[in-house]
Amino acid sequence: MSAYAIAHLQEAAPHPEIAEYIARITDTFEPYGGRFLVHGAAHEVKEGTWPGHIVVIGFPSFDRARAWWDSDAYQAIAPLRSRHIDGDIILVPGVGEDYDANATARTMLEALDVR
């Protein structure tokens, strides 16, 4: 099952360390099967507020995403970003091909005893 590293990063002034981070990050996630799916592209807010930028990196599994995050290679460059950009970063598993949202809704309604 696929997994994703999702970052919601606040606006930041350009800095040489940020440029270095961007130049080096791909080499840290490619060995784990990672690839950019979204990298700071303009987004359209439909509800609420969402300032800043979005980055999504896809991985073939949650274990691979976690191994990338914990890797010496990534941890060595992470401060280049974190010293200059505030934000939130999560690792999240995707759903399998057999995922059924209707079954999830039925389970929720059964737990609430709603018929």
Q: Topology of 3-111 in CATH?
A: Alpha-Beta Plaits (3.30.70)
Please give the pLDDT value at position 113.
Answer: 86
| List of long-range contacts for 17-20, beta carbons under 8 Å, 24+ apart | 17/80, 17/81, 17/83, 17/84, 18/80, 18/81, 18/84, 18/85, 20/77, 20/80
Residue-level pLDDT at 88: 97
Convert the pLDDT of each residue in 70-96 to its tens digit: 999 999 999 999 999 999 999 999 999
pLDDT over 90 (residue 115) = no
What are the structure tokens assigned to 43, written together? 């987004």
Segment 28-80, tens digit of pLDDT? 999 999 999 999 888 999 999 999 999 999 999 999 999 999 999 999 999 99
- Specify the pLDDT at position 41: 87
